[in-house]
A and B are shown apart, each in its own frame.
Chain A
Amino acid sequence: MYFRLIWALAVKEFLALLRDKRSRFVIIGPPIIQLLVFGFAASYDLNNVPVAVYNEDLGEASRELVSRIDGSPNFEIVAYITHDRELAPLIDSRDVLLVLHIDQRFSSKLLQGTSAPVQVILDGRNSNTAMMAMNYVNRIILDYNLSWLASQNKSGSVAILQTRAWYNENLQSNWFIVPGIVGLLTLLVTLLVTALSVAREREAGTFDQLLVTPLRPIQILIGKAIPGMIIGILEATLIIVVMVTLFDIPLRGSLGALYLGILLFLLSAVGVGLMISAISVTQQQAVMGAFLFMVPAIVLSGFATPIANMPQFVQWLTYLDPLRYFLVIVRGVTLEGSSFSLLLNQYWPMAIIGIATLSLAGWLFRNRMY
């Protein structure tokens, strides 16, 4: 009896949500489109960065350096300039991100065995991109130096770095971002579905009708949580399938460990959503509330920038963010093949957040019945 009532409510929630063609569409269509677009767009790897070369040197050595830049997939030389005054407009107008300036005595200095400087002028407006580009230039110069030294037989005794990257052998940034999008989109849809569920009924007056039925607040809570959970699980599954098939992201760990994570993550997301819903009087407030939670949750989760780089105080805040734990789990299971026991420390905080928010939502239900 107890569970039949909950089930009846959950079925009603589903119908209310999915009967409308437009609601059905916004739950399924856009997240997939988002995954596709963002999966390809959200990347820190730089390709075809427009550069200009200002080569005043006529020697062989500088041509060799320029051809290395040209050969790199990261850069695309869009202009060769011959004069100082051409430089500023190119950068100002964002036609190029950087200019490689090779001094006229470059080759001669190099042959003399003294340091030959190369100047890089960067557009710092997007500091992140600038830094990345700088990294690439650095690596090219390093390679160049090593091969120059080798060709001059000057290497002497050197220690050589043999670098390997684990889990993401080619350091593709979409291997990092796309699993993160699983968490982001699942959170978005689940949070909105649950945050609006009670607010919508309050606005339409149907919540009263619900409260006079023998349903207990706790049953209403569970009945409202179930659709969020199920939609979240389906959404996550759909995105994971697209992720594995389209983006070729490996799934190295066990699905069990992943789905336990999804379940606990959804529990906490649903808890937060219902809490927002219980506080809100109107749907507008519910959406804005969901938003005020979601944006910091995404920023603080380590989705785009590492938590370790944040100030200590902010790092403490991230412990309240369920997405933080979930991202470790998705990335762990997909890329690292993490086992259940290795992820244990990610599971229990989400469970605690879920239980805390759901209890609070339940309490708010009872105490805000009028």
Chain B
Amino acid sequence: MSAIALKFSAVSKTFSSEGRQLSALDKVSFSIQPGRVTGLIGPDGAGKTTLLRLAAGLLLPDTGNIHVLGIDAIAEPLTVQSSISYMPQRFGLYEDLSVQENLDLYADLQGLSRIERPARYAQLMKMTGLAPFAQRLAGQLSGGMKQKLGLACTLVHSPQLLLLDEPTVGVDPVSRRELWQIIYLQVQEAGMTVLLSTAYLDEAERCDEVLLLHQGKLLDQGKPAKFSHSVEGRTFLVTAKDLGHRRLQEMLSRAPGVLDALIEGEAVRLVMETIEQPRVEVLLPGQKDIHITTVSPRFEDAFIARLKIRQTNPVTEFSSQLTIDLEKNDEVISVKNLQRRFDDFIAVNNVSFSVRRGEIFGLLGANGAGKSTTFRMLCGLLPASSGELAVAGYDLRRAAASARGRIGYMAQKFSLYSNLSVIQNLRFFSSAYGLRGKEQKTRLEWALTTFALKSFQDANAGDLPLGYKQRLSFAAALMHEPDILFLDEPTSGVDPLARRGFWARTNALAEAGVTVLVTTHFMEEANYCDRLVIMADGEVLASGTPLSMKLRARTAKNPDPTMEDAFIQLIEKRQQTLDTAP
């Protein structure tokens, strides 16, 4: 057994597509000590997936050497593969097998003995909350549950080295917490080494060590605290009495000297360009009741400080003026007692809410809570078993096709044409919504520039890095400037930089009067919502403004709960009542 779990020495990898050479990794060298959890972070398209695939022996590097557990991964991939586990980004579940059958298969393949199975299964089922669905076909699970099943299949045995490619995309916070517990348990008990890529920077903070990758180059390696240290003294929290947090954030992000402004709860978190105490007069001239407090830096601040190219020009979304009458504060989406059954399983039960024009409305909930099913019913993709629903006054399943032209829909799973290029996808969807000629041209141009897709415009959509796929889907949903937007986990797997851009855009849209219905697993993002509902097991657990949700979760121990605390508390409370119920 070598003292080094994973060693890359000057590894380079280029891909050629349609005559162009794309450098995915450029002379990357690092080594990872055994028994550590290492996070692999970097913006979309940094080369994270390529790095993991190389380590798993699935790709051959152009130059350089890779040693996994002291074994040459180039010469002996099979020996490597028998002592590691790798979870690909798009985990290959067999959709026509049940949850249990998928688990059994991977237990067989990984050589888990039959004696160990019951205990292991129980543990994994608890983590994933899949126990009630053991007999269900994997194809019928919700997106997040599929991801969790993929994780469970990967974790079915304890390898010496565990490679995870964005394991928590689309996984709810409760399950994420459980997942981390399992990982650390195995690290402690079995001395396992873990390398995982993630877009959640709070997860990076939990790692022992972090590798920062950018444009195929390894920028840095070290403890998360070391990164955070670099922005010491540059992070502040700003609150304003008279301004809404969204407005405040928008103003701050354009203020001089500000590198990053991010909504955090009811306040806005600032990262300054230099170490200096920001002054209200400079940041927000003419505003009163502004409080600025110094806070300790987080990993995310450092990440942003390192990678962000300051954007000063304001976000302009709509080329043409929207024809939305902002005066009318009417209901755009209304849902009453909505129910959906699949055979004897009730996916959505008695759900009611309404969304007003220009509102950002959030749907939060654990995986499998029924969010996507609700979305699909609202978009007319699935008939409701009972109840009433109306979008802009119509039931889209029955309404004239033109009514669908007013909505934009971004599905949870990437659902654009993988073998069409980026530009062809955009062109098709804009045409499908009736855009043409000059108008179409300007919108295409807009989409390519705002979403930084220009350099990828001729690449196949299916070959894009995950984060870029999400951008493309978002762009496609916005091509026709819809006045109602349905976004199903739009920021899953998107790096923090792009996520900021995404929310800035969504905010601008809402300000312009667009109604947005969104689901998300980033609980901090829930703060962007005007109102939200939290769902569990197909039912609405709570609804209200983010602030009211957090106030409800306030306890003596935790006087200033985050959205995530509020969410977990709600879910756990429900679990307790269910457990105590006869």
Contacts and interface: CB of A to CB of B under 8 A. Distances in A.
**A–B direct contact (CB < 8 Å):** yes
A12 B381 contact: no
B257 interface: no
A209 B433 contact: no
A102 B97 CA distance: 69
B434 interface: yes
A85 interface: no
Contacts of B77: none
A205 B414 CA distance: 8
B485 to A, nearest CB: 11
A243 to B, nearest CB: 33
Nearest to A208: B381
Contacts, number: 84
B416 A19 contact: no
B434 to A, nearest CB: 6
Contacts of B380: 211-212
A212 B382 contact: no
Contacts of A219: 401
Contact of B404 (A1, A19, A208, A214): A214
B364 interface: no
Interface string A204-222: 1110111111111001000
B431 A20 contact: no
B402 interface: yes
B415 A205 contact: yes
A278 to B, nearest CB: 16
A211 B401 CA distance: 9
B332 interface: no
A317 B414 CA distance: 45
Interface string A44-86: 0000000000000000000000000000000000000000000
Contacts of B407: 212
B420 A19 contact: yes
Nearest to A203: B95
A111 interface: no
B376 A9 contact: no
A3 to B, nearest CB: 12
Contact of B424 (A1, A12, A215, A216): A12
A213 B429 contact: yes
Question: Chain B CB within 10 Å — which of A12, A204, A212 has the most?
Answer: A212
Question: Chain A CB within 10 Å — which of B379, B421, B431 has the most?
Answer: B431
B411 A205 contact: yes
Given A209-B411, A216-B401, A5 B420 contact: no
B404 A213 contact: yes
Contacts of B404: 212-214
B409 interface: yes
B436 interface: yes
B418 to A, nearest CB: 6
A81 B156 CA distance: 74
B190 interface: no
A212 B411 CA distance: 10
Contact of A1 (B411, B415, B434): B434
Nearest to B429: A213
B19 to A, nearest CB: 13
Given A211-B381, A212-B380, A9 B424 contact: no
A4 interface: yes
Interface string B356-380: 0000000000000000000010011
Interface size range of chain B in the complex: 20 to 34
B415 A215 contact: no
A206 B416 contact: yes
A4 B433 CA distance: 10
Contacts of B45: none
B540 to A, nearest CB: 23
Interface in A182-214: 204-206, 208-214
Interface string A149-183: 00000000000000000000000000000000000
Contacts of B326: none
* Interface class of chain B by DSSP: loop
B318 interface: no
B462 to A, nearest CB: 9
B413 interface: yes
B432 A214 contact: yes
A209 B419 contact: no
Contacts of A1: 434
A261 to B, nearest CB: 33
Contact of A212 (B381, B419, B428): B381
A132 interface: no
Interface in B379-419: 379-383, 396, 401-405, 407, 409, 411, 413-419
A148 to B, nearest CB: 72
Contacts of B431: 4-5, 8, 11
A370 B383 contact: yes
B421 to A, nearest CB: 8
A11 B428 contact: yes
Contacts of A209: 409, 411, 415-416, 429, 476
A12 B424 CA distance: 8
Contacts of A16: 417, 419-420
Nearest to B434: A1
Nearest to B412: A205
Nearest to A206: B415
A120 interface: no
A369 interface: yes
Contact of A15 (B381, B401, B413, B424): B424
Contacts of B436: 4
Question: Chain B CB within 10 Å — which of A19, A214, A216, A370 has the most?
Answer: A214
Nearest to A213: B432
Contacts of A206: 415-417
Given A12-B424, A213-B429, A369 B381 contact: yes
Contacts of B417: 12, 16, 204, 206
Contacts of A216: 401
Contact of B402 (A4, A12, A214): A214
A212 B379 contact: yes
Contacts of A9: 428, 432
A29 B403 CA distance: 44
Contacts of A210: 432
B381 A215 contact: no
A286 B416 CA distance: 21
A15 B417 CA distance: 10
B381 A370 contact: yes
Interface in A6-32: 8-9, 11-12, 15-16, 19-20
Contacts of B460: 19
Contacts of B429: 209, 213
A212 B424 CA distance: 18
Interface in A353-370: 369-370
A12 B428 contact: yes
B9 to A, nearest CB: 36
Nearest to B383: A370
B434 A5 contact: yes
Interface in B80-116: none
Contacts of B434: 1, 4-5, 214
Nearest to A218: B401
25 contacts: A4-B431, A5-B431, A5-B432, A8-B428, A15-B420, A15-B424, A16-B419, A16-B420, A19-B421, A204-B415, A204-B417, A205-B411, A205-B415, A208-B376, A208-B379, A208-B411, A210-B432, A211-B381, A212-B380, A212-B381, A212-B407, A213-B429, A214-B401, A214-B433, A215-B432
The 9 closest A-B pairs by CB, nearest first: A8-B431, A214-B405, A205-B415, A213-B432, A12-B428, A212-B409, A216-B401, A214-B401, A209-B415
Given A8-B431, A208-B376, A208-B379, 19 more contacts: A12-B420, A12-B428, A15-B424, A15-B428, A16-B420, A19-B420, A19-B424, A204-B415, A208-B409, A208-B415, A209-B429, A211-B380, A212-B379, A212-B396, A213-B404, A369-B381, A370-B376, A370-B381, A370-B382
Interface of B: 376, 379-383, 396, 401-405, 407, 409, 411, 413-421, 424, 428-429, 431-434, 436, 460, 476
